[in-house]
Amino acid sequence: MDAKITQVTLVVRNQAEALEFYTKKLGFTKKMEFSYPNGTRWVTVGPRGQDMQLALWQAGWPDATGISNSWRAGQGAPVVLNVGDCREAFEELKTKGVEFRQEAHTMPYGVVAFFADPDGNLFEILQPPSVTGRTGQQ
């Protein structure tokens, strides 16, 4: 199969608050928005200049299949965001009020820091090691 991942769905408690967090604090762009006749609102956000989108699915909204009945906010594995300088990104996001679960630190696979959105969905910012195999320690 030749495929490309273009969207990940995050379950959120309040879609409007989540949209504000991702656009105002993280600087993402709203990529898509429309409303269904039943009042459900479909909203996606993502980093500028990228095809990748996060769909902000409000917990409890009905879907035709019923598959989302068991989805809960903040119960997924972390979404990884690659950055050029993890410590710089950490400081920038921290000044915008992003609450980190773990500060920037060096691991064998790079420099990382973990934060959560207001619903507890986890994110890892990752500065991968350079091509020389170093972790980019500063």
Q: What's residue 3's pLDDT?
A: 63
Record the pTM: 0.80
User: C-alpha angle with apex 57: 52 to 62, nearest 5 degrees?
Assistant: 140
Shared domain check, 58 and 110: no
Q: How far is CA 70 from the centre of its chain?
A: 20
Asked if 78 and 123 touch (Cβ cutoff 8 Å), the reply is: yes
- How many other C-beta atoms can be found within 10 angstroms of the C-beta atom of residue 41? 15
Q: What's residue 130's pLDDT?
A: 78
Residue ranges in the chain modelled with pLDDT below 70: 3, 64, 131-138
Q: CATH number of the domain that 54 lies in?
A: 3.10.180.10
Q: What's residue 138's pLDDT?
A: 44
Q: What's residue 67's pLDDT?
A: 75
Shared domain check, 65 and 84: no
Range of the structural domain that residue 122 is part of: 79-127
Enter the DSSP assignment of 31: E
Average pLDDT, the chain: 88
